[in-house]
Structure 1
Amino acid sequence: MKKLRAGLALTTAALLVLSACSNANNGGNGGTNANAGGGASGTGNVQASGATKEPEETPDPFGKYAETLELSVIYDRNPESEKSFIPGSTYESNWTNDFWLDKLNIKPVVKWSAPSGDQFNQKYNLMFASNDLPDVFILKSTDNKQSARSMLKRLVDADMVEDLTDVYAKYASDEVKEYYQTFENKALDYAAFDGKMYGLPSQGDTYANVQILWVRQDWLDKLGLQPPKTVDDLVAVAKSFKEKDPDGNGKADTIGLAMQNQFMDPSFTDAVSIFNAYNSFPKNWVKDGDGKVVWGGIQEETKKPLQVLADMYKEGLLDSEFALKDGNKEAELITSGKAGMQIGSWWNGSYPLTFNIDNDPKADWKAYTLTTDNTLHAVMDFPTNQFLVVKKGFENPEAAVKILNFATKSSHSGYQETVDRRNELDTQYGRDKVDAPTIIPNFGIAYLDTTLRSVKLFEDIFAGKAKVDDLTVGERQIFEGSLQPNHDNPRKDPGKYKDYINWMSALSAIAHSTLDIKWNAFNGSTPTYDAKMGSLMDKQLTAFTKIIMGKEPIDYFDAFVKEWKAQGGDQITQEVNDAVAKEGS
């Protein structure tokens, strides 16, 4: 599924990877006023500091160095990705390195590189132990046992990285500041300790990843039903889909909702939207009303969705064998036309729904959101999981900010050189070939609703309220490649139809929803977490499955909670809260 998902229709977020040549958009010009738009000094926690060296030049976010600045960097090498490099393109010598030299007079020098996986991780972690850091590098977690913020805190405490507070305020472009400000500068605060900012945080396109409900619209139309908006509506529609022969074959062989055995994991054929509708987040750490971090799976809010699913199972609205089927196996009910609804992700038009559409040309899937009080509830990982940092003592820390300025402009607003380069690669090698990455591969900043903004713009163009010229290069590729040709007759090209419903049905439904997003409060690990959380999660899945299948009453949930707490859960919770407090979040 990871390969499948990676190969789906390009989202705007995917086109915003900050590689100066491989993904270039055209459009407006970000400003260069270093004092406009606030910045780090305008956040709630970050304060001005004189810790970094005062550059002699007049601050210019896009200023070119008079003398060549050599910048040591490291690379996490992916042999598979390297197969896509154009002939002659290497980490040491490539078009994008020339771009940096031309624009900033910065020359990246490879300090070291290693193949992705254990080899890179070992070398990466050793460089901290030996305090042998490159000038500028991406700080990220390599083992999921500690967050990037925890790692940053350790480097700050060891005085190994530069304070970037002042250089950000002076050198960050208007465009960069705007992206951070749309999230109320929370990402910048996430990079700060004691009022000083020690890294430039990544910020991801996040909101499009909420779970949604996909429904056979042709079945709704045949039975004269309205699209479900709430969980109660979903149950009513599921009952009609089971009892009223929506496929018209005269047999009682359909079910309402396809649901797999890992129903708490967001992907497809899950039940996440039902839990979330009741403010239940059973596989996440969330903060309660008192600010304490708690495990969602043991909260009282989780009982109601379990009762709903138990009632649905009892009435035959779910697959009677769901506990034995993984997502791909359960999806066969969709492929064969036996299930009328499934909860999943915006990209499910590409999988698994497309196979049902291939088998049944009349199958018409549309996406809707399950809401409570007209609000779509969800929990997501915090949109910052990496930091661009500068080693302590590097004389030009502002170089990191300038690099982010140029990379952001290249990916979002565009440079004609990068547009021309992409066109050149397309003509000579095709879109599968790219230049080698440089300096900050796979690091970027975006609006949290970048993809949702794009789909609204597509809708405005179709409605005559906007023009194609308003699109970035990346958006235009999507619009002209999959959406515009199919707008009047979406099923004209079956291969592109899946892209059309992903965007104009699923993402559109999310874009027009009122979102209530909670952030996963903890992504690391603790000693007891490592030792016991796996078995506790297995215990949770077993208990919830028994309740849904009627093997245990709903009150069994209370017994499960007591066992969870006694068998290590309370200790894990304490350790998690201690870790969060130590991290300073």
Structure 2
Amino acid sequence: MKQAGTVALASALAVSVAACGSDKSGGDTSSSSSPKPAAESQPPKLTNLTYWVANHSAAASQMKTYAEMEMYKELEKITGTKVEFQHPPLDAQQSKEQFNLMLASNQLPDVIETIWTSNYPGGPEKAIQDNKIIKLNDLIDKYAPNLKKLLADHPDWKKQIMTDEGSIYSFPFLRGGDKVRVFFGPGVRQDWLDKLGLKMPTTIDEWYTVLKAFKEKDPNGNGKADEIPFYLDKAMIGVDAPFLGAWGINYSFYQDGGKVKYGPIQPEYKEFLATMNKWYKEGLLDKDFAAPNDKLYDNKMTTNLLGASVFYNGGGIGKYANLMKDKDPNFKLVAAPYPVLKAGDKSIWGQKDFAANGVGAAITTSNKNPIETVKWLDYAYGEKGDLLFNYGKEGVSYKMENGKAVFLPEVLNPPSGVSLQQSFAKHNRSTWSAPFVMSDNFQMQYLALPTQKDALEVWSKPTAERKMPLVTPTKDEASKFASVMTDIETYRDEMLLKFIMGAEPIENFDKYVKKIQSMGIDDAVKIQQAALERYNKR
């Protein structure tokens, strides 16, 4: 899921990257806490459906539309419903613009799948009040037995997918087990560490030592000083604070003892910027970090130039292991612990998602068959839908063994040059997100390599205690919050680059903080504080 990294800065603003997660029954999961789906409901009587959803690079590289995916072809046979998928461009900004234009029109598709908690100005409750999407509580109660049972069995999930006013606004993407909630973190070339006799870095100072050695001691062995020690994608600073989190803060709002704070104006943020500026000046950061480019990044990884970065487990560690297995048998990319400032300290910040992340399929007010659409969406949360959405079509991508779904060898072992994520994408959407419940059993097969299973353990250690839940502003707060934060985040992102690259002296940090304060950050913090308190009372 490297692509999600390229949009993760927009994530901190509006777009977030989803990933894996949950357990369900039918004997196909490994978690004893897996929910058991309700009895299968009858397939809906729905002929056609228009469905807007952002595409994913792993799918887009092989097909024009999700309708070509084995999962959706089989779902059409089962339900009789032909889906016309509408995909915006892969570029995050263009996708956001198309989303806004679509919502401004009077003719909406039947279903819109997006991150409603951040992508709709004012949040999902305002989308309901604006008459764009419909409130689903009664429809789920009457016509969605599978999802209804899951929410009854897991009240914490229900709390996460509703608004403060109690509205359920979409059929959610859910991750129920711990194994599918952790999928991202720092990574380093273990073969480079071994060649130079270096230990795995755990502190910021140790990272500096390692990166200096990568730059100066020719770990790729080609006799040239062409190594790029570290690629800190500016977008990835916003994804659960790798490296920045060593200072105990993040790139947006966080909570500390129930009190909301804004990371980019804290004194610790100045220390982070000074450190990154030093690394940049000494050539330890990739000079291209300010302009993320997936193809360029892939090229640096696969031509033995890049020593460390932050990665997704499947779309990073797994992807490059497969791409390099024939090219360089010594290549070994492994997870590194989330760094701390002092040896022995416990990492606070690390990526661990909640069961829900705001991604969901909402039914629009243009939909003329909401009841049948509810039944169609609910299929994914039943036992058969669980297998279909997690694994694809039986006999084509998986088989059943001892009550568990097991992927076929040809899916788990794609040819060289094809990533495992691309292999799965032919059959299902399980390596990113969709309105269904992700299975631990799927995840442990997707993380097929020992290095991936190790990464899950290493990246699971941070406490994530300061992470904000998916709070939402009220209708009155929403417009003010959006106007304040749009300007602040634009300025914050601009200044991040200037401070790191030295265009703005770090001595001007106090002026930067005063500027953000003058733009209304205190009001935004108050809104977030009130939203957090409302969330805690849901």
TM-score (norm 1): 0.58
Residues 543, 560 of structure 1: 8 Å contact kept = no
Is it true that 1:378 corresponds to 2:350 in the alignment? yes
Structure 2 SS opposite 1:537: helix
Q: Which moved more, 1:184-193 or 1:407-416?
A: 407-416
Q: Measured at CA, do residues 310 and 77 of structure 1 come closer, stay the same or move farther in structure 2, by a change above 3 Å?
A: closer
Q: Secondary structure at the match of 1:541?
A: helix
User: Is 1:275–1:305's contact at 8 Å kept on the other side of the alignment?
Assistant: yes
Query: 2:495 is matched with which residue?
Result: 540
**Preserved CA contact (<8 Å) 2:40 2:146:** no
User: CA deviation digits over 1:178-230, x for unaligned, max 9?
Assistant: 9x73xx62444531554565654332586334321x22323322343321223
Aligned to 2:510: 558
Select the residue among 217, 227, 231 that pairs with 2:200: 227
Partners of 1:276 and 1:5 lie apart in 2 by 19
Q: Are the aligned partners of 2:134 and 2:365 in contact in 1 as well (CA < 8 Å)?
A: yes
Per the alignment, residue 332 of structure 2 pairs with 364
Deviations 1:343-363 (A, max 9, x none): 333333467788888775544
Residue 71 to residue 163, structure 1, CA distance change in 2 (3 Å): farther
Shift of the alpha carbon at 1:538? Answer: 4.2
Code of the aligned partner of 1:503: Q
Which structure is larger by alpha-carbon Rg, 1 or 2?
Answer: 1
SS at match of 1:172: helix
Q: Say which SS state the counterpart of residue 437 (structure 2) adopts.
A: coil
Whether the 8 Å CA contact 1:168–1:398 is kept in 2: the answer is no
Cα deviation 1:414-471 (Å, max 9, x = unaligned): 69995257689x99xxx8998999xxx9742335xx56x656x5xxxxxxxxxxxxxx
Question: Quick one: which amino acid aligns to residue 174 of structure 2?
Answer: Q
Question: Where do 1:149-168 residues align within 5 Å?
Answer: 149-151=124-126, 153-154=128-129, 161-164=135-138, 167=141
Name which of 417, 426, 437 aligns with 1:446: 437
Q: Is contact 2:53–2:86 with CA below 8 Å preserved after alignment? A: yes
Q: In 2 relative to 1, CA 177–419 (structure 1 residues): closer, same or farther, beyond 3 Å? A: farther
Does structure 1 residue 281 correspond to structure 2 residue 250? yes
Match of 2:415 in 1: none
Q: 1:62 aligns with which of 21, 28, 40?
A: 40
Judge conservation of contact 1:228–1:370 (CA < 8 Å) in 2.
no
Aligned in 2, Cα 1:243/1:15: closer, same or farther, shift over 3 Å?
closer
Specify whether residues 149 and 161 from structure 1 end up closer, same or farther in structure 2 by C-alpha distance, changes over 3 A only: closer
Q: Which runs of 5+ in 2 are unaligned?
A: 8-17, 89-94, 400-407, 411-422, 473-477
Query: Structure 2 counterpart of 1:295, which letter?
Result: Y
2:161 is the counterpart of 1:190:
yes
Q: How many residues are treated as equivalent by the alignment? A: 465
The residue identity in structure 2 corresponding to 1:144 is N
Pairing partner for 1:342 from 309, 321, 328: 309
Per the TM alignment, residue 338 of structure 1 is displaced from its structure 2 partner at its CA by 5.5
* Residue identity matched to 1:566: S
Aligned partners of 1:394, 1:387: CA distance in 2, in Å? 16
CA distance in 2, matches of 1:423, 1:121: 39
Query: What is the CA-CA distance between 1:536 and the residue it aligns to?
Result: 0.9
- What residue number does 1:419 align with? 394
- Per the alignment, residue 284 of structure 2 pairs with 318
Whether the 8 Å contact between 1:38 and 1:169 is mirrored in structure 2 is: no
Residues 422 and 258 (structure 1), Cα distance of their counterparts in 2 relative to 1, 3 Å cut: closer
User: Equivalent residues in 2 for 1:25-424 (5 A)?
Assistant: 28=27, 61-64=39-42, 73-76=49-52, 96-100=75-79, 126=105, 137-138=111-112, 140=114, 144-146=119-121, 149-151=124-126, 153-154=128-129, 161-164=135-138, 167=141, 171-172=145-146, 176-177=150-151, 181=154, 185-195=156-166, 197=168, 199-203=170-174, 207-212=181-186, 214-242=187-215, 246=219, 253=225, 257-259=229-231, 262-263=233-234, 265=236, 272-282=241-251, 284-292=252-260, 294-313=261-280, 316=282, 318-319=284-285, 321=287, 326=292, 337=304, 340-346=307-313, 347-349=315-317, 361-372=329-340, 373-375=345-347, 377-378=349-350, 383-388=357-362, 400=374, 403-413=377-387, 418-420=393-395
Question: Structure 2: which amino acid aligns with 1:404?
Answer: D
2:452 corresponds to which of 499, 503, 508: 503
Name the aligned partner's letter for residue 75 of structure 1. Y
CA distance in 2, matches of 1:246, 1:435: 39
Query: Which whole-Å CA distance do the structure 2 matches of 1:271 and 1:2 have between them?
Result: 16
**1:566, distance to aligned residue in structure 2 (A):** 2.0
CA contact (8 A) 1:203 1:446 kept: yes
1:39-60 residue CA offsets vs partner (Å, 9 max, x unmatched): 9xxxxxxxxxxxxxxxxxxxx7
With normalisation by structure 2, the TM-score equals 0.62
- Where 1:561 maps in the other structure, the secondary structure is helix
Partner amino acid for 1:185? D
3-state SS in 2 of match to 1:369 = coil
CA drift at 1:83 = 6.1
- Secondary structure of the corresponding residue to residue 199 of structure 2: coil
**In the TM superposition, what are the counterparts of 1:465-476 in structure 2 within 5 Å?**
475=445
Q: SS of the residue aligned with 2:229?
A: strand
Q: What is the distance in 2 between the residues matched to 1:365 and 1:216?
A: 5
CA offset digits 1:102-144 (Å, max 9, x no partner): xxxxxx598x98675788875665559xxx996xx45646893
Structure 1 unaligned regions, length at least 5: 7-12, 18-24, 31-35, 40-59, 102-107, 458-474, 484-499
Distance 1:38 1:432 in 2: 25
* Change in 2 beyond 3 A, CA 1:241/1:27: same
Deviation of the 1:298 alpha carbon: 1.4
Q: Which amino acid aligns with 1:556?
A: N
Q: Cα gap change, 1:224/1:527 in structure 2, threshold over 3 Å: closer, same or farther?
A: closer
Structure 2 Cα separation of the partners of residues 308 and 324 of structure 1: 16
Judging changes above 3 Å, is the alpha-carbon distance between structure 1 residues 543 and 397 closer, same or farther for their aligned structure 2 residues?
A: same
Q: 2:164–2:534: 8 Å Cα contact kept in structure 1?
A: no
133 and 265 in structure 1: CA distance in 2 versus 1, 3 angstrom threshold: closer
Measure, in 2, the Cα distance between the counterparts of 1:374 and 1:160.
44
Instruction: Name the CA shift for 1:299/1:38 in 2 (closer, same or farther; >3 Å).
Output: farther
RMSD over equivalenced CA pairs, Å: 5.9
